[in-house]
Amino acid sequence: MNYKIAIRTCGRYDTIKNKTIKFLEENLIPSDKIFIFCPENEIEMYKNKLGDIYTYCIGSSEGVSIVDNLIRSYFDFNDYIIQLDDDIHGLYKKDEKSEIITYDLYNLITNGYNLMIDNDLHLWGIYPIKNYYFMKNNISYDLKFCIGCIYGYFNTKDIILVDNLRTDFETTILYFKRDNGVIRFNNYCVKANLYTGKGGTCDLRTIEKMTTSANYMVTTYPEYCDYKKSKSKYTEIRLKKKPFISLKNHNSSLLVKNKI
């Protein structure tokens, strides 16, 4: 199975080394599979910190939507991409006894690939928080939020993101609009420093910008999302309930099935 690992990062040399790179090494992911997207003026600093065994690509410090679009532009049509944030430090799976255990990343990558092929879908994600009380021991295909710290997709080249602060919401919606379904492993989650620390999206996340982002999402995708009541200081949104409608018997010309 041919896959590429794309990591978004900006000014977080120690974070990526001690977390996502270490996580990938522990999961025995070959270094030639790993592509690091960072601002052009930081490439040498990342090389000095991590070594030259990885492929370094031009990213951006202006927002994650820009980086995501650069990632899709960089890779070829229908490449299988696993996209990660730079602060992943654990993958967990809920087992039948409702316990969370560490799990092999390669198995998740393989299962996601096979399910996309079997269902003519182009995006898989995982459960958004590490809390086994709320996690389910199943896989869903309806409209459910696929958190951006890790997900896999076929690079169809027709997904273009605009919002800089809710790229995972916009990615989920656009793939659902495209395919009438997304895959979510509700029994998997990761441990990551979401919305904390210096650098990356955290520096862009202000009350004003988050409100602008929420307004953009609800106005642009009213059929798929709405405002969410929350105790958060930020204006939050939620996805609406939308069922999975299989297109397996319809035209799916963008999906190449001979990738293995």
**Residuewise pLDDT in 10s, the chain (260 residues):** 899 999 999 999 999 999 999 999 999 999 999 999 999 999 999 999 999 999 999 999 988 999 999 999 999 999 999 999 999 999 999 887 777 888 789 999 999 999 999 999 999 999 999 888 899 999 999 999 999 999 999 999 999 999 999 999 999 999 999 999 999 999 999 988 765 455 455 567 799 999 999 999 999 999 999 999 988 899 999 999 999 998 765 444 344 333 33
User: Strand 188-192 relative to strand 88-94: parallel, antiparallel, unpaired?
Assistant: antiparallel
Q: Which of these CATH numbers, 3.40.50.150, 3.30.565.10, 3.90.550.10, 3.40.50.300, describes 4-239?
A: 3.90.550.10
pTM across the whole model: 0.91
**Cα distance between residue 83 and residue 225, in whole Å:** 23
User: The dihedral of CA 161, 166, 171, 176: what is its sign?
Assistant: negative
3-state secondary structure 31-46: HHHEEEEECHHHHHHH
Give the angle subtended at the CA of 81 by the CAs of 48 and 185, to the nearest 5°.
Answer: 115
